[in-house]
Structure 1
Amino acid sequence: MDLEAPIAEGLFIKRLNRFLGIVNIKGEYFYAHIHDPGRLEDLLKPGVRVYLRQGRGKYPYYIYAVEASDGLILIDSALHSRIVEWLISEGYVLNGYEITKREVVFNKSRIDFLLRKGDAQELLEVKGCSLLKGEIALFPDAPTIRGRRHVKELINAVNRGLEAYILFLVVRPGAKLFKPNWETDPKFSQTLLDAVKVGVKIIVYKIGIYRWKIKPLGKIPYAFR
């Protein structure tokens, strides 16, 4: 899958709030939108090289990707569903399924996809994972009430006789194992464990970025402790 190339690169200076940072581009300082609600503390460090796209709002840039020890890391969370849609269409995950609907309203939440394979229909929720500690990918990197609500809705779906998946899209090539982040969000982690117990299925899939193309790196295992 091809990605749009950045229009500029620079150095990250500091984060002002959840969605705004300052970058240095050739000696000039600019505001840059951060399109990822996570803390990103292991990625957005002062002095790290960042890649930028044209801003979508009042700021001139938004941070698209960042250099890390394990490669170029995408931090534009708006692309996660699009990447998973491509992975499904190319048969890398959920081979044989087709997407019949996007942004599916279920109870009071929106679930990313409704899938079909023959007569079977399944709900699929996508979560992007960018936190890496050692070789372990962790989600979430900040407490997520919304994420927990989505998992609860998948539990409700299974209890009503539907099938449901949650796919963690790991954007860290160095990851070899995925775990829920009990330390940061024990409520989400417990809800995810409860979901698996009732039959919600988990997929953890890893990708990398090479020359502004998404490279599928395959499934990785997960554990709860």
Structure 2
Amino acid sequence: MQFPDPLIPGRLLRRYKRFLADIALGDGSEVVAHCANPGSMMGLAEPGSPVWLSPSRNPARKLKYSWELVEVPGEKEGALVGINTGRANALVAEGLEAGKVPELAGYAQRRAEVRYGTKSRVDFLLEDPGRPACYVEVKSVTLKRRPGLAEFPDAVTARGTKHLGELAEMVRQGQRAVLFFLVQRGDCDRVAPARDIDPTYGEALDRALSAGVEILSYQCNLSPAGIALDGRLPLAV
């Protein structure tokens, strides 16, 4: 996924009200950017961090910029993290289209935002004659607290727990269900549930695995030019 317009570099001043961030640009001006991330963004919102913004093409939009990337300290050098959770489904869709997810290849039809469960919508429904449908739920992963380990969630997520139960129910009905962890950073080599942050989610994940829900984890290759799906990561339960 290439960004449609060049990203604008800046420095984070503060993130507040969950969806707003004050950014200092290189010319000395300050702007308010939309922060499309409902999580805690643990470790990603330190004042002074280098950030990149995308400009809006909609002249009627109140906020003219969206926060896309942040650079965080790494073991050897700075690492880029994609904080815009709204990009996750598009990145996975692009990866599926390009055949970068062999575990989900070969389906004749892919639909997005299909109703299922209890007042929920699954991110992708893959269908093909002669085999069970595949329900795919995408989760954007940005948290890293230990070297090489990506974790989800970064805050308590009742919604995420609900989705795990609904995926397990699809398996019980004879369908296929996949939880897709999209790690929007390139400095991790494995993924694990953050059980200390949300023990209920960790327990729900264990039940989902026992029920037959599959877990796929892929990381991303990020730059100010764009983001692309990269290699698969193992799950460290």
- TM-score, normalised to structure 1, is 0.93
Q: Which residue of 2 aligns with 1:177?
A: 190
Q: Which residue of 1 aligns with 2:96?
A: 88
Deviations 1:77-132 (A, max 9, x none): 11100110111111111222344311010031111011124422111110010111
- Bigger drift between 169-178 and 56-65 goes to 56-65
After superposition, where does 1:1-225 map in structure 2 within 5 Å?
Answer: 1-25=1-25, 26-55=27-56, 57-68=61-72, 69=74, 70-93=78-101, 94-107=104-117, 108-120=119-131, 121-133=133-145, 134-210=147-223, 212-224=225-237
CA-CA distance at 1:161 after TM superposition: 1.6
Gapped regions of structure 2 (runs ≥ 5): none
Counterpart CA distance in 2 for 1:218 and 1:129 is 15
Deviations 1:165-184 (A, max 9, x none): 01000112111110001011
**Number of matched residues?**
224
Note if contact 2:182-2:217 (Cα within 8 Å) is conserved in structure 1.
yes
CA-CA distance at 1:2 after TM superposition: 2.2
Counterpart CA distance in 2 for 1:128 and 1:99 is 23
> What amino acid maps onto 1:13 in structure 2?
L
CA-CA distance at 1:155 after TM superposition: 1.1
Counterpart CA distance in 2 for 1:211 and 1:30 is 19
> What amino acid maps onto 2:230 in structure 1?
L
Counterpart CA distance in 2 for 1:80 and 1:129 is 9
CA separation of 1:3/1:61 partners in 2, compared to 1, >3 Å: closer, same or farther? closer
Gapped regions of structure 1 (runs ≥ 5): none
> What amino acid maps onto 1:126 in structure 2?
V
Counterpart CA distance in 1 for 2:186 and 2:202 is 23
CA separation of 1:60/1:2 partners in 2, compared to 1, >3 Å: closer, same or farther? closer
Counterpart CA distance in 1 for 2:231 and 2:174 is 29
Counterpart CA distance in 1 for 2:54 and 2:187 is 25
Note if contact 1:21-1:34 (Cα within 8 Å) is conserved in structure 2.
yes
Q: Percent identical across equivalent pairs? A: 33
CA-CA distance at 1:58 after TM superposition: 2.0
Counterpart CA distance in 2 for 1:126 and 1:41 is 20
Counterpart CA distance in 1 for 2:170 and 2:80 is 36
Counterpart CA distance in 2 for 1:72 and 1:99 is 33
Note if contact 1:6-1:64 (Cα within 8 Å) is conserved in structure 2.
no
Note if contact 2:91-2:229 (Cα within 8 Å) is conserved in structure 1.
no
Note if contact 2:91-2:228 (Cα within 8 Å) is conserved in structure 1.
no
Describe the SS at the equivalent of 1:125. Answer: strand
Over the residues paired in the alignment, what is the CA RMSD in angstroms?
A: 1.7
- TM-score, normalised to structure 2, is 0.88
